[in-house]
Amino acid sequence: MRWTASEGKVAAVSSPAATGRPRDPEVDRRIARAALDVFGDAGWAGFAMETVARRAGVGKASLYLRWNSKQALLTDALTLGLPRVSDVDTGTLHGDLVELATQMLDVYAGPVSRAALRLSLDAGQIPGVAEQFEAMREAQIRAARAIVRRGIARGELPESASVTLLLDTLLGGAMMHALSTPPDRRAELADDTAPHARRLVDFLMHSVTAGAGA
């Protein structure tokens, strides 16, 4: 669920007062970021329009002019701000897996990591978001499995290789590294996730290919 940042746009709730000032994309982005921060800190039970407005430094009326419910606000914030895992074909399995691991590190080492973790716990309780989260999760799984199957088809992995075990090891390793990085080093990791992704893939590919040749 790079996992790449979605280019979706914050949707406006239509209002009869359409003759007012044009929407400010920067305000929309600030509100979306504040919404993800509040959701990450407090979960769905503590998510409130008033709290988001206060965190974003805007009036509550500004939120209700854009979204008619907290469900709509959170849905758009997730669409705008939560990175996604996608299938990137670099031409080699190694390159594809590095991209995949980098995307996972970006999700869980970056500024929306708490929101991503909360989503996995709370999505089922949120009307409208549960369906979105399930669709996103399934798309991410399909993208990850397509990468490994493509590597097997190109002969870069033996046909006996377990797609599930390889992805569990790679993505689980990336996620745990991000979450276990000390807070004072998290920003450094988030600024440059690719080096660790390459080290992780190098280790994994060596283990898989060495085992296949044994």
* Domain architecture of the chain: domains with CATH: 93-213 (1.10.357)
Lowest mean pLDDT, pick from 48-52, 127-131, 185-189 = 127-131
pLDDT in tens, 144-201: 999 999 999 999 998 988 999 999 999 999 999 999 999 899 899 999 999 999 999 9
Whether the predicted pLDDT of 8 surpasses 70: no
Mean pLDDT calculated for residue range 33-49: 95
Whether the predicted pLDDT of 16 surpasses 50: no
CA 195 → CA 7, 22, 174, distances in Å?
25, 42, 12
Query: Which span out of 19-28, 39-48, 127-136 was modeled with the highest average pLDDT?
Result: 39-48
Whether the predicted pLDDT of 13 surpasses 60: no
Look at residue 19 and give its three-state secondary structure: coil
Mean pLDDT calculated for residue range 26-55: 94
Mean pLDDT calculated for residue range 111-129: 88
- What pLDDT was estimated at residue 211? 57
Query: Which of the two residues, 169 and 20, has the higher pLDDT score?
Result: 169
Whether the predicted pLDDT of 213 surpasses 70: no
What is this structure's pTM?
A: 0.78
**Using 50, 70 and 90 to split pLDDT, how confident is the model at 136?**
confident
Whether the predicted pLDDT of 12 surpasses 80: no
For 110-162, where are the alpha helices, taking DSSP H only? 113-122, 129-153
Rounded Cα distance, 204 and 210, in Å: 10
Contact 103, 169 (CB under 8 A): no
Query: Which of the two residues, 62 and 48, has the higher pLDDT score?
Result: 48
Contact 44, 122 (CB under 8 A): yes
Intra-chain end-to-end CA distance of the chain, in Å:
35
